[in-house]
Structure 1
């Protein structure tokens, strides 16, 4: 939820900063009562996003240390590459069947791991612009100067990926419209499992000790 909220806050406040000459941007700035207020909200959004990311990283370390078994299913494998080729062949009519996915598809893995790449660039460059005097103690001036371009260009890439790639897969797809409920329900129906994660469904049904209620519901 923290990542969800911070992303939209940063998008709404960040685009007017990058395109400050736009009339629409000037209107958004006015809604915030001036540039200073908008910029302050943008910084708060950045802090929230960094906090959410750090919390997630700590969670990834603490869970295995607490004795709970950690799944590595989100890690990309060679099967993801084969699934991509299979799906491309299916989309273009060269294959008769689409790829069959396990717990996570290559699309879901891309969504997940792209955040790590984006956070390194966004948080790193954002902090450089926020505290340039500190970072010039360790980095040359050209790196600090380049941080603005890295920050804004990565932001446009992230916004484009979310509103084109991600929104289609979980919102505009006619199977999920207006949205996939998995993000807050935490479960998938059997029909959704059969369509999107048939390999995991087969494993759940084959192994009676697997708690199917964690992933499926009748």
Structure 2
């Protein structure tokens, strides 16, 4: 069984159950447009690998290991869809189909970096990320601070961007606010309703209304 085939089964079981209930073999077969007999054989293999709990006539559900695996794949899918739609202006149907193919090849490290660049909303699948980015870790824990909260002369590394408007994220990236880049606040950073930031190779005057979309890890 190929990795892609395994992941297709796991993510579709997750879509049908959300990791809480079992789904019948016939339901999964219909959802994936695969013969029930073929689905049964694959479920036996996944069960032997500890990824699902399968019992004939009682359906199939994900184990904790299988649930984590499936959530990581679905998160990659969400990241790819958002990138294709918001950055490349691909229509939603095409983006979904492309993400279905690409999600199997995208590494988790690259998915995290794309999350940080995209500024997409954190979703429930982030809980299964092996190395959660600061966008996840900072929920309820002050690991990062928005640029608008930094003090004059304070410095750090851009952790992630976050805004519901993809145009704002694009604008910030074009201005040089790329996750992983070091910055230092100007000694007098709030002149004329702009935030003045030293990005190493350039000094940028960022409109104050955009500063709250840039998050900084000041522990670096």
Q: Classify the TM-score, shorter chain.
A: under 0.3
TM-score of the aligned structures, taking structure 1 as reference length: 0.26
Q: Structure 1 or 2: larger strand share?
A: 2
TM-score of the aligned structures, taking structure 2 as reference length: 0.26
